[in-house]
Amino acid sequence: MKAIILVSHSEKISEGLKEMLEEMIDSTAVRIISAGGTGDGRLGTNAITIYEHLNACCECEEIYIFADIGSSILSSETAIEMLDLEEDRQKVTLFDAPLIEGAFIGAVQASIGACTEDILEEISLNK
Which residues here bind its own copies, judged by CB under 8 A? 8-13, 15-17, 19-20, 23, 36, 43, 68-69, 98-102, 104, 127
Rounded CA-CA distance 79/52 in Å is 8
The residue among 45 and 53 lying less far from its own copies, judged by its C-beta, is: 45
Q: Which CA distances in Å does 92 have to 24, 53, 81?
A: 23, 12, 10
Q: Is 53 a catalytic residue?
A: no
Min. distance of Cβ 121 from its own copies in angstroms?
17
Point out the catalytic residue in the list 9, 18, 53, 91: 9
Min. distance of Cβ 102 from its own copies in angstroms?
8
The residue among 8 and 91 lying less far from its own copies, judged by its C-beta, is: 8
The residue among 69 and 112 lying less far from its own copies, judged by its C-beta, is: 69
Nearest by Cα to 31 from 107, 92, 126: 107
Determine how many CB atoms are found less than 10 A away from the CB of residue 24.
12
Rounded CA-CA distance 104/122 in Å is 11
- Amino acid found at 65: I
Q: Which residues pair with 23 in a beta bridge?
A: none
Min. distance of Cβ 117 from its own copies in angstroms?
22
Enzyme catalytic residues: 9
